[in-house]
Structures are given as C-alpha cells and as structure tokens.
C-alpha cells in the first residue's frame, strides 16, 4: 500500500481527543493532524517523537494532515493509521501472499454478518467453504521484539471473536488475522492484562476452530507492505 502523497516529518507535541494530534513541522509550523487510531497508543504518543504526516488538499476533509508513521529507535517504524491494515491485507489477498487463503478466487469486503456486524473480508470459491476473515491492527509492544493486542479494552473485538466462532459452528472457515504495524517485533501474543474479556473470547473462539494468523509489515515513508508470518504465543 503506497501513500497517496509524499509524507512530511515533524515532532509530536501531543495527541488528544483520541483523533487529534498537534505536530511541529520542520519549517516551524504547528499543525493539527488527524490521528486515525482510537486505541491507547501506549508508548507511541509521547511528546517529542518524530512523526510523519500525509498532507492532503481534499476540500471534504477538515484537517490538511493525517498522521501515518512514527519513528522508533534503531531505524524501526510504527504505523499509526488503523485503516491501513485492511488495505494491506486486501493487496495481499489479491496477490495470493497469504498461503492459507490463496485458493480463494472471490474476495468481498465489508459483508454483513452476525449481529449488525460486517466482516472485513468474505472469501468464496467453488468447492471451498466460505471463509470469514477479520483483520486487527497491532502496534503495542511492551517487551523487546514482542507485539501485543489489544492496547485497550475492546468490547467490539470480543464480539467479533464470538461471531467468528458462530460462523465456524455453521460449517464455514473463520480466521482472525493480526497485522503488526511495527518493524521491531518478531513474535505476537494477547495482552491478557489489558483486556481479560478479550483473551477469554479468543480462547473460546480458537477452541471452537477459529484460525489465527499473524503477519508483520514492511514500513517506510513510501508505504506499508505485507510482510512475513509472525509466531503466535499463547
């Protein structure tokens, strides 16, 4: 997934009201950027951090900048925009980069299912069980090399797990895919202490046959690309 316009660097002043961030650009201007991330962003929103914004001239948007990336120590990166994983995974599905799902020729996004929900992707094909694929963004890391999810309590996330389990009970495939939007992690686990209810829903779902996949990403100021499979610890 390539960014639509060239990113510009700056320094984070503060993130507030969940979806707003004040940033000082290198030319000295202070701007307000849209932060497309409802999570806690633990360790990723400290004042002084070097960030990268995507400018836009869309008259329909109230803010002229969107916060996309954060620089981490040792030349690593974190992606901030939680809408990016679905676009990255869609490209991976189209290009058959996910081996477990490569046989499916038909990919439909945002299909209604469950109780007033929409599955991120419904994959179908002749002679194949329908595959319900949910995608989650991951960028919490509290130990070196270890990515965790979630970074805050998520009732919606637990609901998705229950609905995936329901799809599996009906004879379909159900897959939870965690996409790690940071380049310094090689393993993944649930943050049980952050949301025990989500961890319990995860265990129930996996015991019911819901599949779990985790992949990392390659991140640069040019874009975010689908990476390699990551070990899941449980």
Question: Residue 114: which residues within 8 A CB-CB, separation 6 or more?
Answer: 159, 163, 166, 167
Statement: residue 138 has pLDDT above 90: yes
The string of pLDDT tens digits covering residues 181-225 is: 999 999 999 999 999 999 999 999 999 999 999 999 999 999 999
At 58 the pLDDT is: 83
The string of pLDDT tens digits covering residues 91-136 is: 999 999 999 999 999 999 999 998 889 999 999 999 999 999 999 9
Q: Is 202 left (phi over 0), alpha (psi -120 to 50) or beta?
A: alpha
Q: What predicted TM-score, i.e. pTM, was given to this entire model? A: 0.96
Domain ranges of the chain: 8-79, 84-232
Statement: residue 61 has pLDDT above 90: no
- Across the range 165-181, mean pLDDT stands at 98
- Across the range 162-190, mean pLDDT stands at 98
Residue range 84-232 forms a domain whose CATH class is: alpha beta
Confidence category of residue 72, pLDDT binned at 50, 70, 90: very high
Taking the domain 8-79, which CATH number applies? 2.40.50.580
At 230 the pLDDT is: 97
The string of pLDDT tens digits covering residues 8-55 is: 999 999 999 999 999 999 999 999 999 999 999 999 999 999 999 999
Q: What CA–CA distance (Å, rounded) separates 168 from 217?
A: 28
Query: Are 8-79 and 84-232 the same fold in CATH?
Result: no
At 220 the pLDDT is: 98
Confidence category of residue 162, pLDDT binned at 50, 70, 90: very high
């Amino acid at each position: 997934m390539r960014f639509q316009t060239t990113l510009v660097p700056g320094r984070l002043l503060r993130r507030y009201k969940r979806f707003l961030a004040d940033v000082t650009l290198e030319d000295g201007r202070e701007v307000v950027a849209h932060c497309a991330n409802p999570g806690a962003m633990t360790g990723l929103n400290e004042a002084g951090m070097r960030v990268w914004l995507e400018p836009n001239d869309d008259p329909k948007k109230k803010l002229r900048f969107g916060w996309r990336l954060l620089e981490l120590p040792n030349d690593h990166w974190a992606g901030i925009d939680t809408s990016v994983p679905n676009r990255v995974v869609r490209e991976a599905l189209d290009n058959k980069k996910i081996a477990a799902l490569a046989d499916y020729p038909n990919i439909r996004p945002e299909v209604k299912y469950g109780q007033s929900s929409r599955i991120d992707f419904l994959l179908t094909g002749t002679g194949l069980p329908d595959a319900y694929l949910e995608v989650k963004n991951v960028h919490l890391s509290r130990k070196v090399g270890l990515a965790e999810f979630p970074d805050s309590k998520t009732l919606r996330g637990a609901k998705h797990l229950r609905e995936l389990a329901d799809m599996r009970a009906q004879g379909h495939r159900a897959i939870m895919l965690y996409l790690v939007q940071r380049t310094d992690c090689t393993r993944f686990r649930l943050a049980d202490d952050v949301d025990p209810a989500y961890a319990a829903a995860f265990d129930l779902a996996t015991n019911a046959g819901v599949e779990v996949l985790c992949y990392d990403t390659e991140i640069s100021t040019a874009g975010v690309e689908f990476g390699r499979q990551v070990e899941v610890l449980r």
